Amino acid sequence: MRDTLLIALFAFLGAVAAGLLGAVALRLLRRRSLTASLAVVASVAVGAMLAGTLAVAWAMFLSPHDLTVVTTVVAMAAVVSLATALVLGRWVVARSRELAVAARSFGDGGDFAAPAAPATAELEALSRELAATSAKLAESRDRERALETSRRELVAWISHDLRTPLAGLRAMSEALEDGVATDPDRYLRQIRTEVERLNDMVGDLFELSRIHVGALALSPSRMSLYDLVGDALAGADPLAREHGVRLVGDRVEPVPVEVDGKEMSRVLGNLLVNAIRRTPADGTVAVAAERSSEGVVLSVTDGCGGIPEEDLPRVFDTGWRGTHARTPPAGAGLGLAIVRGIVEAHQGRAAVRNIPGGCRFEVTLPTLEA
Per run of 10 residues, the mean pLDDT along the chain (length 370 residues) is: 65 69 69 67 70 67 68 72 70 73 66 68 75 79 77 72 80 84 83 83 78 78 88 90 89 85 89 91 90 88 88 78 48 76 90 91 81
**Helix-helix angle 225-243:261-278, to 10 degrees:** 30
**pLDDT on residue 142:** 80
What is the reported pLDDT for 124? Answer: 75
Residue 57 confidence (pLDDT) = 67
Q: How many CB atoms lie within 10 A of CB 15?
A: 19
Please give the DSSP secondary-structure letter assigned to residue 116.
S
Quick one: how far is CA 283 from the chain centroid?
39
What 3-state DSSP class applies to 358? strand
282: alpha, beta or left, given left = phi > 0 and alpha = psi -120 to 50? left
Q: With CA atoms as reference, report the closest residue to 361 among 370, 369, 349.
A: 349
Q: In terms of DSSP bridges, do strands 246-252 and 349-355 run parallel, antiparallel, or are they unpaired?
A: unpaired
Structural Rg of the chain based on CA atoms: 38
Q: Using alpha carbons only, what angle is made at residue 254 by residues 294 and 247, rounded to the nearest 5 degrees?
A: 95
357 CB contacts (<8 Å, ≥6 apart)?
Answer: 303, 305, 306
Q: How confident is the model at residue 133, as a pLDDT?
A: 79
Q: What is the model's pLDDT at position 327?
A: 40
Element (H, E) at 114: none
* Closest to 288 measured CA to CA, from 366, 369, 365, 361: 361
What local confidence, expressed as pLDDT, does residue 360 receive?
93
